[in-house]
Amino acid sequence: MSDKLLFKDIDEPGLNTLAVYRRRGGYEALRQALQLAPEDVLKQLEASGLRGRGGAGFAMGKKVSFLPKGSMDKYLVCNADESEPGTFKDRELMQKSPHMLLEGIVIASYAAGANRSFIYIRGEYVLQADVLDAALAEAREAGYIGEQILGSEHSLSLVVHRGAGAYICGEETGLLDSLEGKRGNPRLKPPFPANQGLYQGPTLINNVETLSTVPTIMRMGGEEYAKLGVQTSTGTKLVSISGQVRRPGNYEIELGIPSREIIFGLAGGPLEGRQIKCWFPGGSSAPVLTAEDLDVPYDFDSLAKAGSMLGSGAIIVVDDSTPIVELAIKLAKFYRHESCGKCTPCREGTNWTVEMLERIDSGEATPMDLDIMASVQEHIIGNCLCVLGDAMAMPIGSMIAKFRPEFEAHIESARARADLNPAHPAGHTAGHQAGASEQALAAQGAPGA
């Protein structure tokens, strides 16, 4: 029996069309919601305990309630700029069940009193944007989106807006600037988007998965939905698992199950003969956990207590064949590339972190550099308009803290190589392919080394 909510029969042929979606009871939740007062819909959302699925985990009902009352133009923006490395759950939802998202958007806009909505989808998702456009045309035709939806007083316009490739546009205020046609630079908060967001109007911003869950909540009732999962993390969650596991992909889980069950039970565990070295529980921005943390329940608060975060629900598994320095360089380079450059700590901090890591790899660093690097991370956290810098600083900081002996061994071995061959210091590319990984493995005492 399938107890899936979002993923139930996800691969049913034609689920992306209105006919099949309606046959499965689609848009009934909307009909039901429109018969209630907006406040009563909001009550259901609050009772469900649904927390945002995009990364921050903020209570959705509360977010809706922050929007001011009144007859001004209000906006709903669906954040479909799924760019967090390791995350690909929204892609599957939008591609295979676009009407569920549209239905969720209409219900949420009714609760929030918003009359204009936008789906900001990352430009790389060409197929998914095309699917959404087709679904939108069908929904408009059938009267689910437009003027006086299903004979009610509620009207809503919807535009699918394609981005053009920028991680920072997944940050809510960066997204708003981008949607206004500018560079995607984050804004100073407060004012928060609920008060002054898109075009300076009150704006509700929610992730694809969050909004896609709304029809289910209306169908089940908020209190019934809240019985799923654990106290502070209710419901089910889509988890994207990738990296060095046997069965990477999207899985729907009930929040609160042991992480081990996801990584080993669903994704099949690490590849033959390998051990888990570390794993990111919530996208590459989450501090890494190690094999010792595999029994931590997979929910918002348990992961926070373990020193990491659930984030976007993207688990990246790294096995013992990967040198931690190589992983750190890859990670830091991503954030350096994606930093918008508005705030100094992030712009300079991401750049210096990459340079220091490369020095470690080329044999120009000393163990003292690790402390400098750790302090750079501390100086980024909390000192920028958005959390992009923090998103590099937290995992890099956690890697230095948890794998310090390996960093030190890497420094020593790279220095030894550079000394042997002073004219050609071992560069990064030469380093990690041959010597570095063996050295790193030896330092970890890993099998096979």
Of residues 125-144, those binding another protein (CB under 8 A):
125-127
Residue 265 contacts another protein per CB under 8 A: no
Compute the least distance from the CB of residue 91 to another protein, in Å: 5
Distances (CA, A) of 40 to 37, 77, 104: 5, 22, 16
Using CB under 8 A, pick the residue from 26, 54, 184, 431 that binds another protein: 184
Compute the least distance from the CB of residue 320 to another protein, in Å: 12
* Nearest CB to another protein, comparing residues 161 and 219: 161
* Nearest CB to another protein, comparing residues 48 and 240: 240
Residue 4 contacts another protein per CB under 8 A: yes
Restricting to residues 225-244, name those near another protein by CB under 8 A. Answer: 240-244
Residue 279 contacts another protein per CB under 8 A: no
Residue 246 contacts another protein per CB under 8 A: no
Restricting to residues 315-334, name those near another protein by CB under 8 A. Answer: 316, 318, 322, 327, 330-331, 334
> Which range, of 63-71, 118-126, 295-303, 371-379, touches another protein by CB under 8 A?
118-126
CA 262 to the chain's CA centroid:
17
Using CB under 8 A, pick the residue from 19, 137, 164, 434 that binds another protein: 164
DSSP readout, 356-376?
Answer: HHHHHHHT---THHHHHHHHH
Contact 337, 315 (CB under 8 A): no
With b meaning 16 or more CB within 10 Å and e meaning fewer, what string describes 34-73?
bebebeebbbbbbbbbbbbbbbebebbbebbbebeeeeee
- Which residue type occupies 89? K
The 3-state DSSP class for residue 196 equals coil
* Nearest CB to another protein, comparing residues 89 and 359: 89
Compute the least distance from the CB of residue 366 to another protein, in Å: 27
Compute the least distance from the CB of residue 266 to another protein, in Å: 7
Q: How many amino acids of this chain bind another protein (CB under 8 A)?
A: 71
Q: What is the CA radius of gyration of the chain?
A: 23
Restricting to residues 78-97, name those near another protein by CB under 8 A. Answer: 82-88, 90-92, 95-96
Contact 332, 393 (CB under 8 A): no
Strands 203-207 and 229-230: unpaired
Q: How far apart are CA 333 and CA 310, in angstroms?
A: 23
